Chain A
């Protein structure tokens, strides 16, 4: 798979620094209009030149494993910037964070990181860091985005990114693979990942013997504790004098790769895992619904980004991918997303990105000042939003008022974009099942006419279809116009 940076648009002038790019002062990502640029200081510029002359880096670029990058055309770079060189990156269709990925996604992203590190080491380079946040997605293909992380390797030094890699990738995977605990809430809570000392108490007794636990977790944690006062400069010198070599580091990286391959546990599913089979659509309902969604997505200009909220097994995400450039399939159950990810990879589907996200508790802003990792609402600006069989779960299951839900849908949609939403009538068996758990009369405003009025107040309803079963209605509304 080969990609190139798309053709250059007219030059905008406003520079907006990327809030997630500040930790390494040698380079920084910034935006000029829709362009993604990276400024390099003198030494980083030198490293970039060496990188382009290397054997491994162009090969990774050609394989689509590193995001497409080139020297920025001078016309694109605003005057007065302090950088020695400026690079231009391809734009990632939808930025996501590791706590929104499923187990297999994080594992595949980690494997790509080690593959890239191995290729770099074999060619005399290394990566300065080892964060899972260095990876993003093109559909279900992971891609390494931190081009500024590459630097010439100094023989005899261990990998500076190992601790970061453990905290943001390996430990979360150990948690899920060995204990069956979903890692996403842990990663979401701590931008620097899970520390060894937090995880060690959970891996006592015979759990110490599970793959990777004794060395990467317990020994690593103990050594961190015992060497906390030692400077890394001294330790690097001691290791080099003791004979640490590039071959040894490569062997360590291969060992991590081998471990990652062994960590292959499918997370246990909840009731959502079987939802499509149990949710009770008739064949006629399903056909009518698919036809409505297809027509709704082709009624206007081709959507660039479609959000499928409550995607479940991805049936409508796949459908949308036929009519849109990119689809983000959002589902709250990590096991369902894991299955969807594996299925999409097996199908070779390139335009659907599955993400783990609870719609009633979406990713907030995280990290420094709450903006280093953008919240879901800040990233979502879709040309079309699919909210199929999801409103009743929010309104009845999570007690979210209907006006709030419609406002939220409007907020996720770009001006002039379409919302395709399914309203499940209170008489529908699924709605009745949800209402049975709540006090009688509690949701008196949960009515089709009330929902339709709210939708009409925030957009223009262009299509409406009651499904053959008579208990569900589909709408297409153009928001903000």
Chain B
């Protein structure tokens, strides 16, 4: 599914690199479309709430490769915000 096909309401908030707020207003609304929707369908939630921040930080403490993963995640979040900005203004 192309990114532009989604109609997602996006609110821009200025924040730091690691501290970016999730870019959606409605809880549960899909966030990104770069192949993640397909992957999300096979994700099973555990009984324990793992905590979103606790999941991300595991990449950072995993060493250089992990920092690259975290950087990629935040870069994608940033790019997605700019991509969806026009949709939001319509």
Contact = CB atoms under 8 A, between A and B. Distances in A.
B52 A231 contact: yes
Contacts of B69: 239, 242-244, 248
B55 A251 contact: no
A127 B36 CA distance: 24
Interface residues of A, number: 51
A157 B48 CA distance: 14
Given A243-B69, A251-B66, A255-B63, A162 B49 contact: no
B7 interface: no
A161 B51 CA distance: 9
Interface in A155-190: 156-164, 166
B39 A240 contact: yes
Contact of B43 (A25, A157, A159, A252): A157
Contact of B72 (A23, A228, A242, A251): A242
Interface string B62-84: 11011011101100110000000
A237 B39 contact: yes
Contact of A23 (B34, B47, B53): B47
Given A128-B46, A154-B44, A241-B36, A224 B73 contact: no
B20 A226 contact: yes
B53 A223 contact: yes
A160 to B, nearest CB: 4
A223 B18 contact: yes
Interface in B11-58: 15, 18-22, 27-28, 30-32, 34-37, 39-40, 42-58
What DSSP secondary structure best describes chain A's contact surface? helix
A8 interface: no
Contact of B62 (A128, A220, A234, A249): A249
B18 A248 contact: no
For chain B, the bracket of interface size reads 35 or more
A220 B20 CA distance: 14
25 contacts: A26-B47, A128-B47, A154-B42, A154-B44, A157-B43, A158-B50, A158-B54, A158-B55, A158-B58, A159-B58, A162-B54, A166-B54, A215-B61, A227-B51, A227-B53, A229-B22, A234-B30, A234-B31, A235-B55, A235-B56, A236-B43, A238-B32, A239-B59, A243-B68, A243-B72
Interface of B: 15, 18-22, 27-28, 30-32, 34-37, 39-40, 42-63, 65-66, 68-70, 72-73, 76-77
A162 B58 contact: yes
A228 B47 CA distance: 18
A291 interface: no
Given A215-B61, A242-B69, A252-B61, A160 B52 contact: no
Given A239-B73, A244-B59, A249-B58, A160 B48 contact: yes
Contacts of B18: 219, 222-223, 226
Contact of A160 (B46, B57, B76): B46
Max chain B C-beta neighbours (<10 A), residue from A26, A160, A247: A160
Contact of A226 (B31, B39, B53, B65): B53
B49 to A, nearest CB: 7
Interface in A214-271: 215-216, 219-220, 222-244, 247-249, 251-252, 255-256
A239 to B, nearest CB: 6
Contacts of A231: 27-28, 52
Contact of A232 (B52, B63, B73): B52
A347 interface: no
- Shortest Cβ-Cβ A-B pairs, 5 listed: A223-B53, A224-B53, A163-B54, A230-B22, A226-B19
